[in-house]
Amino acid sequence: MNIYSELNKIIEYVENHLEENIEQKVISRMVGMNEYTFQRIFAVISNVTFTEYIRNRRLSNAGQEIYLEKEKIINIAIKYQYTSPTAFSRAFEKFHGIKPSEVKKNPEKLKMYTKLHFNESYEPNKNIDYKIIEKEEIHLYGTYILTDDKKIKEDAPRFYYENMKKYGEAPYALVEYHDKERTEVKSYWVLYYEPIPKMIEKTIPKSKWIAIRINSQNAEEIQEISETFYEEFLPIAKYNFKDLPEIEYYHDNITDFLVPIED
């Protein structure tokens, strides 16, 4: 399966159903994935979540239609799946920077969000060596720091070493996200086997994992492999991924980057 070709088919489906309810479960079945895997792959490849893409296309079309006076604003709001004029106006202003009622006076402020198209001839240029492992449920104890996409590369190693000085080397770390597609970083965790005062218990459920071995515990090298995984491996992988956090397991001067998959 060429994932880029399949995504182009999805884009065409979306274009033909912008005025209808688009169910992500139906979309994910079209490409033979679970909903979580499809959402994650779409977000990685397009740099926008599937939900955001649909919303942006609808609001882009709505702005043009309001300017052309094809229909009343209330009718356009309903047409593009908004349940109330207030919800539509709020979303419209956030996207375009003006209210629907101001379009006629400020048409130059309307934003155009064009239809996506994926390069179907693209081929990954990096190989990733991995194996599938199964791990039993793990009970860990940890602490975290709030961070974001821009700061995580500096915050993570700094926070890890701060805790290492206090409590010793931590065997695990993980990143939590605000969204299911994992496009907005929320926090970075450092995790230990034994209870430590004021730390929070964190359970990693039993699962199968893609294990990618990194012959280093250097933060930059781990981040590079992680980025390669999402950019090169994830779009062509045939596995269905679980809605669990990826984890980093540190041992014997190496790092195992673990990504949860369904049985």
More confident residue, 88 or 242: 88
Residue entry with tokens 């005025």: 19
Distance CA 128, CA 259 (A): 13
Determine contact, residues 155/225, Cβ cutoff 8 Å. Answer: no
Task: Summarize the confidence of residues 174-199 as an average pLDDT.
Answer: 90
- Is the torsion defined by CA of 92, 94, 99, 105 positive or negative? negative
CA atoms within 13 A on the CB side of 245: 18
Determine contact, residues 214/227, Cβ cutoff 8 Å. Answer: no
The token duo for 45 is 């490849």
Give the C-alpha distances (Å, rounded to integers) separating 9 from 3, 4, 5, 234: 10, 9, 7, 19
Q: What is the pLDDT of residues 193-240, one digit of tens each?
A: 999 999 999 999 999 999 999 999 998 899 888 888 888 888 888 888
Determine contact, residues 59/100, Cβ cutoff 8 Å. Answer: no
User: Can you tell me whether residue 117 is helix, strand or coil?
Assistant: coil
Across the chain, mean pLDDT equals 91
Q: What percent of the chain has pLDDT over 90?
A: 67
**Terminal CA-to-CA distance of the chain, rounded, Å?**
21
Distance CA 42, CA 25 (A): 14
Whether residue 125 is predicted with pLDDT greater than 70 in this model: the reply is no
More confident residue, 2 or 84: 84
Any idea what the Cα angle at residue 200 is, between residues 242 and 146, rounded to 5°? 75
Bridging pattern class, strands 247-251 and 138-146: unpaired
Could you give all domains of the chain from N- to C-terminal order, each with its CATH number? 3-109 (1.10.10.60), 131-261 (3.20.80.10)
Whether residue 168 is predicted with pLDDT greater than 80 in this model: the reply is yes
Q: Which of 89, 91, 93 has the alpha carbon at shortest distance from 106?
A: 93
Q: What is the pLDDT of residues 24-48, one digit of tens each?
A: 889 999 988 889 889 989 998 888 9
Q: What is the pTM of this model?
A: 0.81
Determine contact, residues 203/137, Cβ cutoff 8 Å. Answer: yes
pLDDT at 232: 81
Distance CA 45, CA 30 (A): 18
pLDDT grade for 124, boundaries at 50, 70 and 90: low
User: Can you tell me whether residue 95 is helix, strand or coil?
Assistant: helix
